[in-house]
Amino acid sequence: MQIPEPLQIAIDELSKLPSIGRKTAMRLALHLLSSDQERIDSLIHSIADLKAKIGFCTDCFNFSVNELCDICSNPKRDKTILCVVEEASDIIAIERTNEFSGIYHVLGGVLSPLDGSSVESLNIRELLSRLRESEIKEVILALNPNTEGESTSLYLAKLLKPLSLNISRIARGLPIGGDLEFADEATIGRAVLGRISL
């Protein structure tokens, strides 16, 4: 027996999503097939609304429903500290910690010549003009701790040096709840280098 074509198409489409394999895609498709029409409609609308309703903040390139995002338009945020991240989704991760009350700037990626991601394709020019025109005194680089993230951090640190701002990079070390025995050499090495006196 052939799987009915509309079911096969739905399985193919669902399995293109990240972390969804063929088996999970099939389970999802069969679940949707036996769901109420109302339930399916609300799922479809929510997906269609994503791109239709969410844009990017004109200042910091965070996700936003309005011209300025919730953070840029919030008078309670500290406008003197700016945190540079790769993607808008990283802002959600940092906001969940409740440890940062400044503002953000989304680069839109990292420097990666092989992937065709250059200085021009990132929001670096916008970052520079923001830093020149605003009251920002401190810049925190919060890029991912991998080769591209590290080299982009170094590039930005060099680029921003003439602006005489306080530039820092978020700490690398052992993750909370982690185990020294099972951590990789690079992480332990960074943790030793970045030791803090008590």
Residues near a second copy, by CB under 8 A: 1-7, 9-10, 12-14, 16-20, 24, 26-33, 35, 37, 39-40, 42-44, 46-54, 62-65, 69-71, 74, 89, 91-92, 95
Q: How deeply is 171 buried, as exposed, middle or buried, from its count of CB atoms within 10 A (0-12, 13-18, 19+)?
A: exposed
**H or E element that contains 152:** helix 147-160
Q: Cβ closer to a second copy: 18 or 162?
A: 18
Question: Shortest approach of a second copy to residue 2 CB, angstroms?
Answer: 6
Q: How far is Cα 192 from Cα 106, in angstroms, rounded to an integer?
A: 30
Q: Cβ closer to a second copy: 16 or 132?
A: 16
Q: Cβ closer to a second copy: 40 or 174?
A: 40
Question: Shortest approach of a second copy to residue 187 CB, angstroms?
Answer: 22
Cα-Cα-Cα-Cα dihedral sign, residues 136, 171, 18, 109: positive
Question: Shortest approach of a second copy to residue 198 CB, angstroms?
Answer: 33
Q: How far is Cα 70 from Cα 165, in angstroms, rounded to an integer?
A: 25
Q: How far is Cα 155 from Cα 119, in angstroms, rounded to an integer?
A: 10
Question: Shortest approach of a second copy to residue 183 CB, angstroms?
Answer: 22
